[in-house]
Structure 1
């Protein structure tokens, strides 16, 4: 584990260098245990695939004292009271007008559309991070049989709810947006609502199953 100063008011904690479930679980533990303290010195905590970025109020606490606080918290990480990961079942319409890249994915993988759908829906995915768009879940780990490269030239926009593949990840576009991922389907489930609390449907550590409809 490494601690890095990140600008004037940030600390980046690196937990590993690979995208895997063990690293993700460690980050989840740290994120929720630190968040539960409600420390006034902390402005924001941003978990990612292999690291956690913490912005703090440098007017309240020095970098060295804040770093000591973070390291001390790591000593008690296993005793943290964590929320149970939630399981989501997301209905998806695959292919056709909903999945403009399905034909490419099938050709690249050497599989039929039915086989791609079967593989994509048979995997239980973990939400590793949320970002890019509000509520956009980065999920994995994608079955290697449908590993797919990103588009060489991103689309200017894809509809809200588009389900995409990129290398060993799958994700859902929470808003209409430019996109470089291969779109294979679409869901009507709303992922982000600023009028509700919490705003995002997903949180890190949640699991997701896709259901073909």
Structure 2
């Protein structure tokens, strides 16, 4: 449920958690994005950093400049007077994926779990336009939703100690892309040559909260030749 008014939780003397709902949903995530944009544009004094997530926004502040009570008042005022026309139009990013075999070692198991063929799993996974709910876990890692019900799959029973950068995974109703080599427990069904995080790029993260993502299948040979569209 989306809250009519923000709920606040103290996270120490420098941080305030602003909750805008109690579940993962596009509507609540949209509210988080709107408040994030509103605060970012307004630049209230004392606010140092904003960290958006599925249903809440962490506001990090300088307690010597703004008190918690003042901060709550500022946030409520901005929330109640949001100019939604200032919200940028969502950007759609198309991401190529090599599915299965060494690039997607869990694809066959996912297909077996649902009594589907690997080709059907690929079709279901590449069908939706996903919403980037948040960036987290590692730099540039997008949490994408929502998967079609036909391929909603639990995490692996045993996480891997290393998942290669670019691996495309699913877990429950989400999909995600590993932005760097890291441990992970999601079901890996493919791999993309797109770099989700590059510290030399500006901005370093390919995706941001609110973006839309569409996956499309390519072959391993096409992946070797793939170049990002820089236009």
Tell me, yes or no, whether TM beats 0.5.
yes
Q: Is 1:154 matched up with 2:137?
A: no
Residue pairs, 1:74-93, within 5 angstroms: 74-79=79-84, 81-93=86-98
Map 1:159-198; keep pairs closer than 5 Å: 159-198=164-203
Q: Check whether the contact 2:14–2:63 (CA below 8 A) recurs between aligned residues.
A: yes
Contact 1:33/1:80 (8 A) holds in 2 = no
Question: 1:196: Cα distance to partner?
Answer: 2.1
1:57 to 2:62 alignment: yes
Q: Does 1:44 align with 2:43?
A: no
Q: Deviations over 1:155-195 (max 9, x none)?
A: 00011000000100000000011011000000000111212
Please give the secondary structure, in 1, of the residue aligned with 2:21.
Answer: coil
Aligned CA RMSD, in angstroms, stands at 1.1
Alignment match, 1:114: 119
Q: What is the deviation of 1:207?
A: 0.3
Relative contact order, CA 8 A, sep 6+: which one is greater?
Answer: 1
1:38-85 Cα deviation digits (max 9, x unpaired)? 234111111111111111111111111111111111111244512221
Comparing 189-198 with 77-86, greater Cα deviation is found at 77-86
Alpha-carbon separation, structure 2, partners of 1:101 and 1:155: 12
Aligned mates of 1:108, 1:37 — CA distance in 2: 49
Structure 2 counterpart of 1:130? 135
User: Which sections of structure 2, spanning at least 5 residues, go unmatched?
Assistant: 1-5, 219-231
- Which 10-residue stretch deviates more, 186-195 or 72-81? 72-81
Tell me which residue corresponds to 1:205: 210
Deviation >6 Å, runs of 4+: none
**Partner secondary structure for residue 94 of structure 2:** strand
TM-score (structure 1 length as normaliser): 0.97
Deviations 1:6-52 (A, max 9, x none): 11111111111111111111111111111112234111111111111
CA distance in 2, matches of 1:36, 1:200: 20
Say whether residues 1:95 and 2:115 are aligned partners: no
Tell me the distance in 2 between the aligned counterparts of 1:46 and 1:133.
Answer: 14
In structure 2, the residue corresponding to 1:61 is in which secondary structure? coil
2:145 and 2:184 map into 1 onto residues whose CA distance is 18
TM-score scaled to structure 2, two decimals? 0.89
3-state SS, counterpart of residue 86 of structure 2: coil
Cross-structure match for 1:70: 75
* In structure 2, distance between residues paired with 1:80 and 1:59: 33
Unaligned runs of 5+ in 1: none
**When the two structures are aligned, how many residues end up with a matched partner?**
213
